[in-house]
């Protein structure tokens, strides 16, 4: 077996370690898109990435480790929610992004959600990614509060889940045909409910 | 191999065919609850049900066939949505039922949803079950319209998905810790949005 030569202790961005990681994760996404979780193997990923199999085993251990790192890498970008100037506009644009990512074929987010039911490591990484994304999206609610569209004591997370959950429910769990109106409808529902006080914290003691 | 003796052509309720089906499906649920999809085998189901293996193979073909039949059987009950006298009460009670079924351990609905990402036959049966359940729940909206709580031209399905999707999102996809307030909060959100006109059909041409 070829001795390991690539585990530079410091993972400099742009260094050899980072480059190998990028190649391997790109190969995981490609294999996942083509064959789904069933067809994902360490061997196929190593071959596709052009990286020694021993390296892949040493750094990622197993398929669950590969999936977890793809999910963690997804959280390392500088994505931010759309900023359209209104709450309804932001939520609609956000939902359109989500819908786009779920209806494209192959959909890597769909494949990762399916895989997270198989691998505990992937499930934990998927949770970290949701947490990161919803935290970033809180900016949408903060801006709406600053504009006076929402009361200051608004539960951002609950509002965001109300706005986005119907899309995931429809496309991931119900496996229903995409409905082009759904992104705007779910955004409108959440915005109307917010205006009616659905996400207002009743008192400081309730903030948890 | 024992010759088949149990495939009575007419599946009389209470007959031998029905009894064997009940035993086998109960064994599937028990195995699924104990071992999940990974541990579900035709052999273990046959042994647990006390039914000849050849019978199980002939009638259900494979694990996907067993899962699909468990899902179809779930739709054969006489379940109806709660009838509490108000839209908010009905939606809250419905969400509490859903939450209860998803947080109990083992949760068969959770295991079936996870399995539906593995087996196309289970996925189709899961879709049929969702469709059946949401259709039955339309009674909640019809009663609210009759009581004058909602305008007659209300999109029942969209309202029901808005009310229930956050629970599935929270507990199945986000895998977050159960929140005892969530059932009532999601129901309130949908009821407030409904009162604000979020699910009103804008015109007869829009009814699809």
pLDDT, tens only, B33-80: 999 888 899 999 999 999 999 999 999 999 999 999 999 999 999 999
Looking at residue B3, what is its pLDDT?
45
Question: How many Å apart are CA A128 and CA A135, to the nearest integer?
Answer: 11
Q: Per 3-state DSSP, what percentage of chain A is helix, strand, and coil (rounded to 5)?
A: 65, 0, 30
**Taking the CA of residue A190 as centre, how many other CA atoms within 13 Å lie in the half-sphere pointing to its CB?**
32
The reply to whether A207 falls in a domain is no
Same domain assignment for residues B102 and B65: no
Cis check: omega of the bond before A106, within 30 degrees of 0: yes
Higher-scoring residue by pLDDT: B4, A35: A35
Q: How do residues B79-124 score in pLDDT, each as one tens digit?
A: 999 999 999 999 999 999 999 999 999 999 999 999 999 899 999 9
Is residue B91 within 8 A of residue B163, CB to CB? The reply is yes
Same domain assignment for residues A105 and A160: yes
Same domain assignment for residues A37 and A113: no
Both structure tokens of A202:
């009743």
Same domain assignment for residues B96 and B155: yes
Query: Residue B38 maps to which CATH number?
Result: 1.10.10.60
- Decide if B105 touches A, using CB distance below 8 A: no
Mark which of A47, A74, A101 sits at the end of a domain. Answer: A74
The reply to whether A26 falls in a domain is yes
The reply to whether A9 falls in a domain is no
The mean per-residue pLDDT over the stretch A30-56 comes to 95
User: Which stretches of A42-181 are DSSP H helices?
Assistant: 42-49, 53-60, 63-74, 87-103, 108-115, 120-146, 156-168
The reply to whether B6 falls in a domain is no
Mark which of A34, A49, A74 sits at the end of a domain. Answer: A74
What residues does A200 pair with on adjacent strands? A154
The reply to whether A141 falls in a domain is yes
Same domain assignment for residues B193 and B95: yes
Nearest CB to A189; choose among B117, B123, B193 = B193
By C-alpha distance, the chain B residue nearest A206 is B181
- Decide if B126 touches A, using CB distance below 8 A: yes
Question: How many Å apart are CA A88 and CA A85, to the nearest integer?
Answer: 9
Query: Is B192–A188 a contact, with Cβ atoms under 8 angstroms apart?
Result: no
Question: Cβ–Cβ contacts within 10 Å for residue A131, how many?
Answer: 14
Query: Residue A117 maps to which CATH number?
Result: 1.10.357.10
Angle at A100 between CA A96 and CA A104, to 5 degrees: 170
Domain count, chain B: 2
Is 0.85 exceeded by the ipTM?
yes
By C-alpha distance, the chain A residue nearest B134 is A174
Residue A6 has pLDDT above 80, yes or no: no
- Decide if B169 touches A, using CB distance below 8 A: yes
Same domain assignment for residues B139 and B93: yes
- Decide if A195 touches B, using CB distance below 8 A: yes
Mark which of B23, B44, B74 sits at the end of a domain. Answer: B74
- Chain B residues whose CB is inside 8 A of the A196 CB are 192-193, 195-196
Interface mutation target, options B92, B133, B188, B189, chain A, most CBs of A under 10 Å: B189
- Decide if B170 touches A, using CB distance below 8 A: yes
Same domain assignment for residues A105 and A70: no
Question: How many Å apart are CA B117 and CA B173, to the nearest integer?
Answer: 13
The reply to whether B24 falls in a domain is yes
Question: How many Å apart are CA B117 and CA B41, to the nearest integer?
Answer: 17
The three state secondary structure string of B66-104 is HHHHHHHHHCCCCCCCCCCCCHHHHHHHHHHHHHHHHHC
Q: How do residues A109-167 score in pLDDT, each as one tens digit?
A: 999 999 999 899 999 999 999 999 999 999 999 999 999 999 999 999 999 999 999 99
The reply to whether A166 falls in a domain is yes
Least Cα separation, residue A203 to chain B (angstroms)? 15
pTM (predicted TM-score): 0.89
Q: What is the CA radius of gyration of chain B?
A: 20
Same domain assignment for residues B100 and B50: no
- Decide if A181 touches B, using CB distance below 8 A: no
Residue A12 has pLDDT above 70, yes or no: no
Same domain assignment for residues A122 and A169: yes
Cis check: omega of the bond before A13, within 30 degrees of 0: no
Give me the domain span that covers residue A61: 15-74
Interface mutation target, options A107, A167, A169, A207, chain B, most CBs of B under 10 Å: A169
Query: Is A169–B169 a contact, with Cβ atoms under 8 angstroms apart?
Result: yes
The mean per-residue pLDDT over the stretch A71-88 comes to 97
Same domain assignment for residues A151 and A100: yes
Query: Is A173–B130 a contact, with Cβ atoms under 8 angstroms apart?
Result: yes
Same domain assignment for residues B51 and B91: no
Where does residue A165 fall: left (phi above 0), alpha (psi -120 to 50 degrees), or beta otherwise? alpha
Same domain assignment for residues A179 and A92: yes
The reply to whether B148 falls in a domain is yes
- Decide if B106 touches A, using CB distance below 8 A: no
């Amino acid at each position: 077996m070829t001795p390991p030569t690539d585990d530079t202790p410091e993972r400099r961005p742009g260094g050899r370690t980072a480059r190998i990681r990028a190649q391997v994760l790109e190969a995981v996404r490609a294999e996942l898109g083509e064959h789904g979780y069933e067809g994902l193997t360490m061997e196929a990923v190593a071959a596709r990435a052009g990286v020694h199999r021993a390296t892949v085993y040493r750094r990622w251990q197993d398929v669950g480790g590969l999936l977890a790192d793809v999910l963690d890498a997804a959280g390392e970008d500088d994505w931010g929610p759309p900023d359209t100037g209104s709450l309804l506009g932001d939520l609609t644009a956000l939902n359109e992004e989500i819908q786009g990512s779920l209806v494209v074929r192959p959909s890597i987010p769909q494949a990762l959600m399916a895989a997270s039911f198989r691998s505990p490591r992937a499930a934990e990484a998927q949770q970290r990614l949701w947490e990161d994304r919803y935290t970033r999206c809180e900016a949408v609610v903060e801006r709406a509060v600053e504009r006076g569209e929402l009361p200051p004591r608004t539960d951002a997370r609950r509002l965001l889940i109300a706005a986005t959950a119907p899309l995931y429910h429809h496309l991931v769990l119900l496996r229903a045909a995409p409905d082009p109106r759904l992104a705007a409808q779910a955004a409108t529902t959440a915005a109307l409910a917010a205006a009616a006080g659905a996400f207002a914290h009743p008192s400081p003691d309730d903030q948890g």
